[in-house]
Chain A
Amino acid sequence: MADAYIFDHVRTPRGKGRASGSLHSVTPIELASTTLRAIRDRNDLDTANVEDVMLGCVAPVGEQGADIARVAVINSDYAESTAGAQVNRFCASGLEAVNIAAGQIMSGQSDMAIGGGVESMSRVPMGSDGGAWPTDPAVAFHSYFVPQGISADLVATKYGFSRDDVDSYAVESQKRAQRSWDEGRFDNSVVPVVDLNGHTVLANDEHMRPETDMQSLASLDPAFINAGEQFGFNSVAIQRYPEIEKIEHVHHAGNSSGIVDGASAVLLGTKEMGEKLGLTPRARIRSFASIGSEPTIMLTGPSLAAEKALKRAGMEKGDIDLWELNEAFAAVVLRFMQALDIDHDEINVCGGAIAMGHPLGATGAMILGTVLDELERTGQSTALATLCVGAGMGTATIIERL
């Protein structure tokens, strides 16, 4: 089996995912094109060598529909021969896109490919693609569907995380994100989004609230009480977890991932292709994995995905220097740390989606890039990036810095 190497990665800054957000004026095609052009231009890439572009996108309808990856390829003036496919593994789509690109290379069917993702949550809102799971009565009853926020509160309830626990985590995420920006840890990977006239539309993550403290978070009302109590979802969750008397609602906008716009791209290839093009490999893909887990609690997949990826790589937990888990909800990370006994100092060291936001389809490739940058900055060797995924899944990727 061939090895897949990472040569480069970029991401856009993350704009607030609403009408007042800076990236609301930018089409998702343009966001994806921004990262594809940056990958090409930074590396002096003859794009005829890029065989495929996989892009994650979770609401692939409207202007994000009809295979946004191929359309972004065309729009970015890549070689006509570069294919493109849109990938949906919900919140892990961006990482799944990288894994698919890596898989093509490792199986010898491709020499160079891009994996990444895009989501303009301000322009194509979450849920725009409908779906049978919540709505089709036969499906919803059979699988005990509840919305993700209820699942997050269920994780907190089942595994014993209090409002203070999740809020403390959120405060730390904000601190770490601000420190990372202040120290320029993202400088090499964030490419500004510019308009037609070359003016910068956005150069920094604009969702962060570094001034956040326990007091300011304490003033926020839990976000999912209404859905849980008025619309019956708490009862559905308890019918699946009857050992629980009552769902404690602890999550709110301040300790959940932010709704933002953004795009990301990771350039992968064989060692030979890198040498041919004069590119320096920065990391090697050690393994990747996706798993399915119980769909009602939905968000406990990362530890299972991580364990599977470790096993595939012939590694143990202690072999990983840095962990990166998407901060979908604070309790998801706390549960992961609890399940694998991981110290907070080793995970999400640059902050995460609670502070900077979670552009659904793009995040997976973003966090992989973030943790690679951090390995390089600290001189450490191995990292595992993972995300919890809707409908009860988890996806993980292990990289080794070169």
Chain B
Amino acid sequence: MIDYDVDGDGVATITWNVSNRPMNVMNMDTMNAFAEAVDRAADDDDVKGVIVASAHKEFCVGADLSVMGDGDLSMLEDFMKVIHGKFRRMETSGKPFVAAINGHALGGGFEMALACHHRIAADNPKIKIGLPEAKIGLLPGGGGTQRLPRMIGMQQALPLMLEGKELAPAAAKNIGLVEDVVPADELLDAAKAWILGDGQKNKVQPWDKKSFKMPGGAVQSAMGQQAFAAGNAMLHQRTYGNYPAQQNIMSCVYEGCQVDIDTGLAIEIRYLIATAMTPECRNMIRLFFALTEAGKGAGRPKDIPATSYTKIGVLGAGMMGAGIAYVTAMAGLDVVLLDMEQAGADKGRAHAEGLLKKRVSRRRMDQAAADATLARIHATTDFADLAGCELVIEAVFEDREVKADVTKKSLAVTGDGITFASNTSTLPITGLAKASSRPDNFIGLHFFSPVDRMPLVEIIMGKGTSDETLARAIDYVKAIRKTPIVVNDSRGFYTSRVFGTYVREGLALLADGVAPALIENAGKMAGMPVGPLAMADEVSIDLMYKIGKQTREDLGDDYVEVPGDGLVQTFVEDLGRVGKKAGKGFYDYPEKGSKRLWPGLAEHCPPSAEQPDVEEVKKRLMYIQSVETARCMEEGVITEKRDADVGSIMGWGFPPFRGGVLSLVDTIGIVDFVADCDRLAQAHGPRFSPPKLLRDMAAKGEGFYGKAA
């Protein structure tokens, strides 16, 4: 687990070599073993210094999240005390410690390196070094918030921790995270040389010397005061106060860097425990696991052999088709990008070319690789070129007849044994599948725009879609390194349907006389990327109008009117304010400057004299999404709560601190949530009325992820 060795020159090496876990991680077992090795070296008069190394590909990736315990934080507290105690022993043993960073040094792994007197990294650009804890709602609790600012200054250290940045060795050296970068095969020699050389004069950490001064200025200096005043506000602006981990990182640095290191470390443990107890932290850790699972294709039917792809057809070279072609080519697959006109197909290919150029200019790719990627995209108008495609994805105009036509033309070339996918966001898959003689091979692949940046693909099962087809679709989505969720065919599928409730509730609030700025700010304060009215403008109000009209026709008497539906009609039919693309919608979009709410809103939806509390507006905007998702679960539109949460985060920007649209219900508490929804239904309409699924859960006091707290 932890190897220990002393060579003939008195240099001890403590090597992380954890065998019962896939990676070098810190937990009570590994830390106890590490602690024993540290004591052994420290107590041995013949040892001149210690190298901390790894026998794995990675150096150490930090704490095993199991140390968080199951709601019992005394375990975490005990664990942190072992870590802090042993790290202090390393620092004060009188022997120089050096970290030989051969691979990823993340979180607690890098904090261990910070407790060494010196850090040398292998010259491998794939190595990641940093403190990413904030990304899962935690803070660097192994001394990171105290040692990093004392090493490189608060102003450098804070952004690294707040954003959870991970740096390659060269960048890490630039900013002072490591002192040296050497070729990988010279790493241990360089570490040993440092111990026998400079190390003998550097056995005391700077912060353990009386002369220590915070690099870059102290907290209570003019610089420090400005940095914190602005830093607090900028963080507040970015997080809307929704992320306690980031706030607590700021507090650890502010409070802890005004006192000695030991007191600072004690402060850090307090904040770590407080942070770990927050629902935000629990949500983000659960989300982390959910994203990981979903990314691995957890919804894939078992026992079906994996499909590997070589050639994919994409029909329609508009924004979506071009994006799909690009991500497919990036995955190393050949793409036939087909459009009605050659100019259209070429334009789609040029879109990919533009994205590749950007990657090259940002040095994320070399020119040769970019050229090879572009060469994989064949732009054509000839269906015959689809021959040999294992999968064809149509991304043509949202029209049943057009779609049926291209489906038939493609299958005539490829044969109907291949997988055929439709990238529709509105038309039911089961209906579209009728164009194929093999509806069992027909599936929905709903991509999100812009395809190159949005990580989610919503896979839609038609009534006849087979498990084999689903498995093949998931294999493709994994191949292009996106995250699949699986849903069943229904109006709006899952993501569009639930996301639509956010926008519609925004309009309902407007129709109810709530001040538009209050609606928009409430949406953002609740953690949504933009307010619902801005979102309506982005989606375009005429599209909402069309979808609404279609839905009304399809549902007939079953259609449930929502206040605000009329507004869509007014904006499209009477005002011609159809959204951002027209330069006018709920907002005005001046050529210069940022968008402003249209002053005319006051005339069409006069704000009431009495305005609701912002918390109530937030509830309406967020709870409506969770209620609708619960209905989707009840109707079987979506079956995995994991997919529901992941889809909400990746698909429409539901806030990560909530853990997802269903996790929100657990965060509020199922009983309170149902009671609040009943109240909202009374006040605003049956759209808030909790479905039976939620009522049954409330009766049992059980949330989606276990007993209510």
Chain A residues at the B interface, C-beta cutoff of 8 Å:
127, 130, 134-138, 140-141, 144-147, 231-233, 235-236, 238-239, 242-246
Contacts and interface: CB of A to CB of B under 8 A. Distances in A.
Interface residues of B, number: 34
A137 B228 contact: yes
B596 A246 contact: yes
15 contacts: A134-B228, A134-B229, A135-B225, A135-B232, A137-B250, A137-B251, A140-B229, A141-B247, A145-B232, A233-B233, A235-B237, A242-B517, A242-B525, A243-B521, A245-B521
A239 B521 contact: yes
Contacts of B250: 137
Contacts of A243: 515, 517-518, 521, 611
Most buried by B among A134, A141, A144: A141
B230 interface: yes
B232 A140 contact: yes
Contacts of B522: 242
Interface in B228-243: 228-238, 240-241
B224 interface: yes
Contacts of A239: 236, 240-241, 521, 525
Nearest to A146: B233
Given A232-B233, A233-B233, A245 B517 contact: yes
B232 A130 contact: no
A138 B517 contact: no
Given A243-B518, A245-B596, A232 B230 contact: yes
B87 interface: no
Given A242-B518, A245-B516, 20 more contacts: A130-B220, A130-B225, A134-B228, A135-B219, A137-B228, A137-B231, A138-B247, A138-B251, A140-B232, A141-B236, A144-B236, A231-B229, A233-B233, A236-B236, A239-B521, A242-B517, A243-B521, A243-B611, A244-B517, A245-B520
Most buried by A among B232, B235, B525: B232
Contacts of A246: 596
Interface in B498-553: 515-518, 520-522, 525
B232 A141 contact: yes
Nearest to A131: B225
A303 to B, nearest CB: 21
The prevalent SS among residues of B at the interface is helix
B22 to A, nearest CB: 36
B173 to A, nearest CB: 29
B266 interface: no
B597 interface: yes
A236 B224 CA distance: 20
B73 interface: no
A140 B235 CA distance: 11
Nearest to A139: B232
B614 interface: yes
Contacts of A140: 228-229, 232-233, 236
Interface string B463-489: 000000000000000000000000000
B224 A135 contact: yes
Contacts of B229: 134-135, 140, 145, 147, 231
A134 B250 CA distance: 13
Contacts of B518: 242-243
Contacts of B611: 243
B494 interface: no
Contact of B614 (A136, A138, A242): A242
Nearest to A238: B521
Contacts of A135: 219, 224-225, 228-229, 232, 254
Nearest to B238: A232
A10 to B, nearest CB: 35
Contacts of A145: 229, 232-233
Interface string B186-201: 0000000000000000
Nearest to A138: B251
Contacts of B596: 245-246
A242 B241 CA distance: 14
A244 B515 CA distance: 9
A134 B611 CA distance: 30
A143 to B, nearest CB: 11
Contacts of A141: 232, 236, 241, 247
A320 B654 CA distance: 56
A53 B498 CA distance: 68
Contacts of B238: 232
Residue in A130, A135, A136 with the greatest tally of chain B CB atoms within 10 Å? A135
A144 B525 CA distance: 14
Contacts of A137: 228, 231-232, 235, 247, 250-251, 254
Nearest to A244: B517
Contacts of B241: 141, 239
A141 B250 CA distance: 11
Nearest to A240: B614
Nearest to B225: A135
Nearest to A128: B222
Given A140-B233, A145-B232, A145-B233, A245 B597 contact: yes
Contacts of B521: 238-239, 242-245
**Which 9 residue pairs spanning A and B have beta carbons closest together?**
A232-B237, A242-B521, A137-B250, A235-B237, A245-B517, A232-B233, A134-B229, A135-B228, A140-B232
A242 B240 CA distance: 12
A258 B517 CA distance: 34
Given A137-B250, A243-B517, A236 B237 contact: yes
Nearest to B252: A137
A134 B225 CA distance: 8
A380 to B, nearest CB: 38
A288 to B, nearest CB: 32
A234 to B, nearest CB: 8
